[in-house]
Amino acid sequence: MKKLFALVFIVLFLITITIYKYMEISKDEAIQNLADKTLEFVKIANKAVLDTYMVVAKKDFFDIMKNGEVLKILSKFKYATIDEQNILRGELYRLLYKDYELLKKLNVRQFHFHTYDGKSLLRFHLPYKNGDNLMSFRKSVKIANTKFKPVSGFEGGRVYPGYRYVFPITYDEDHLGSVEFSVSFEGIEKKLKNIVPFYGHRIIFDKEIIYNKIFKKNRELFVESKFSSDYYSENYCISKSNGDKEHDKFVDKVTKLVKDSPNFMKKLNSKKSFAIPIIDNNLGYIVTFLNVKNIDNKSAAYVISFGKFQDIVGIQQRYNNLVFIGLFVAIFIYLLVITVLFQVQKIKVEASKLQKFIDIQNSIVILTNGVKFKFANKKFFDFFGYRDLEYFLQEHYCICEHFLEMDNFFNLSHVMDSEDSWVDSLLNLQGSKRIVSMRDKNSIIHAFSVSINKYDEDNYIIDFSDISDTMREKIQLQEQVIKDQLTKAYNRVYFEKNIDSLIAINREKGKETGIIFFDIDHFKNVNDTYGHQVGDDVLKTIVKIVNSNIRDDDKLIRWGGEEFIIIFCTSSIENVYKKAEHLRVSIEQYRFDEVGSLTCSFGVILHNDSYSIDESIKKADAKLYEAKNSGRNRVVV
Amino acid sequence: MLIKKIFVLTLCLFYSTLVVAKDGYTINFAPLPTKSSSQNVKDFLPINQFLKEKLSLHINYVYKKDYQDILDGFKDGTIDMAYLGPLPFISLRKDYKHAEPIVTFKQSDGSSKYRCVLAKFKNDIFTKDKKIKVALTQPLSTCGYLMTNILLKDKFNLDLKNQKYKYKMSHTNALISVVKGEFLLAGAKKSIASKFKTLGMEIIAQSKLLPGFSLVVNTKTLTKKQILKIQESLLSVSQSEYKKWGGISSNGLVKAHLNDYDSLNVDFKIPKKGNLK
Using an 8 Å Cβ cutoff, are A607 and A616 in contact? Answer: yes
Q: Strands B26-30 and B58-61: what pairing?
A: parallel
Does B196 reach chain A within 8 Å, measured CB to CB?
Answer: yes
Tally A–B CB contacts below 8 A.
63
Model pLDDT for residues A464-514, shown as the tens digit of each residue: 998 888 777 776 777 778 889 899 899 998 898 889 888 988 888 889 999
Q: Which residues of A are known catalytic residues?
A: 562
Q: Which helix (H) or strand (E) holds A556?
A: strand A555-560
Does A33 reach chain B within 8 Å, measured CB to CB?
Answer: no
For the segment A174-193, the average pLDDT, to the nearest whole number, is 88
Contact call for B200 and A89, based on CB within 8 A: yes
Q: Select A362-472's CATH number: 3.30.450, 2.60.40, 1.10.3470, 3.40.50.
A: 3.30.450
pLDDT at A241 over 50: no
Instruction: Report pLDDT for B36.
Output: 66
- Closest chain A residue to B244 measured between Cα atoms? A217
Q: Does domain A67-183 have CATH number 3.30.450.20?
A: yes
Q: How far is CA A39 from the centre of its chain?
A: 36
Q: What values do phi and psi take at A366, rounded to 5?
A: -130, 160
A 10 A CB-CB count for A357 gives: 11
Q: pLDDT-derived band of residue A128, with 50, 70 and 90 as boundaries?
A: very high
- Closest chain B residue to A97 measured between Cα atoms? B180
For the segment A243-247, the average pLDDT, to the nearest whole number, is 47
Please, which residues 116-155 of chain A have a Cβ atom closer than 8 Å to chain B? 127-131
pLDDT at A426 over 80: yes
Length in residues, chain A: 637
Model pLDDT for residues A549-605, shown as the tens digit of each residue: 998 889 999 999 999 999 999 999 999 999 999 999 999 999 998 899 999 999 999
- Closest chain B residue to A98 measured between Cα atoms? B180
Domains (range + CATH), chain B: 24-111+211-261 (3.40.190.10), 116-207 (3.40.190.10)
Q: pLDDT-derived band of residue A372, with 50, 70 and 90 as boundaries?
A: confident
Instruction: Report pLDDT for B9.
Output: 36
CA-CA-CA-CA torsion sign (A619, A621, A622, A628): positive
Distance from CA of A258 to the nearest CA of B (A): 29
Contact call for A127 and B199, based on CB within 8 A: yes
Contact call for A97 and B180, based on CB within 8 A: yes
CA distance B19 to B33: 31
Instruction: Report pLDDT for B7.
Output: 42
Nearest Cα residue to A113 out of A174, A168, A170, A171: A168
- Closest chain A residue to B192 measured between Cα atoms? A128
The answer to whether A67-183 and A362-472 have equal CATH topology is yes
Q: pLDDT-derived band of residue A548, with 50, 70 and 90 as boundaries?
A: very high
Please, which residues 287-316 of chain A have a Cβ atom closer than 8 Å to chain B? none
CA-CA-CA-CA torsion sign (A430, A431, A432, A433): positive
CA distance A95 to A106: 19
Does B276 reach chain A within 8 Å, measured CB to CB?
Answer: no
CA distance A73 to A176: 10
Helix (H, G, I), strand (E, B), or coil: what is residue B145? helix
Q: pLDDT-derived band of residue A193, with 50, 70 and 90 as boundaries?
A: confident
For A383-452, what is the HEC assignment? Answer: HHCCCCHHHHHHHCCCHHHHCCCCCCCCCHHHCCCCCCCHHHHHHCCCHHHCEEEEECCCCCEEEEEEEE
Instruction: Report pLDDT for B148.
Output: 95
pTM to 2 decimal places: 0.58
Low-confidence ranges of chain B (pLDDT < 70): 1-25, 34-38, 267-268
Model pLDDT for residues A75-116, shown as the tens digit of each residue: 999 999 999 999 999 999 999 999 999 998 888 888 999 999
Instruction: Report pLDDT for B268.
Output: 65
* Domain definitions of chain A by residue range: 67-183, 197-308, 362-472, 483-637
CA distance A111 to A436: 121
Does A323 reach chain B within 8 Å, measured CB to CB?
Answer: no
| A interface test, pick of B38, B39, B183, B250 with most A CB neighbours within 10 Å | B38
| B interface test, pick of A94, A113, A119 with most B CB neighbours within 10 Å | A94
Q: pLDDT-derived band of residue A245, with 50, 70 and 90 as boundaries?
A: very low
How large is the greatest C-alpha to C-alpha distance in chain A, in angstroms? 163
Question: Per-residue b/e over A242-253, b at no fewer than 16 CB within 10 Å?
Answer: eeeeeebeebee
User: Under CATH, to which class is A483-637 assigned?
Assistant: alpha beta
Q: pLDDT-derived band of residue A267, with 50, 70 and 90 as boundaries?
A: very high
Model pLDDT for residues B155-202, shown as the tens digit of each residue: 999 999 999 999 998 999 999 999 999 999 999 999 899 999 999 999
Model pLDDT for residues A33-55, shown as the tens digit of each residue: 999 999 999 999 999 999 989 99
Whole-angstrom CA distances from A157 to A30, A120, A134, A181, A183 are 41, 13, 9, 13, 12
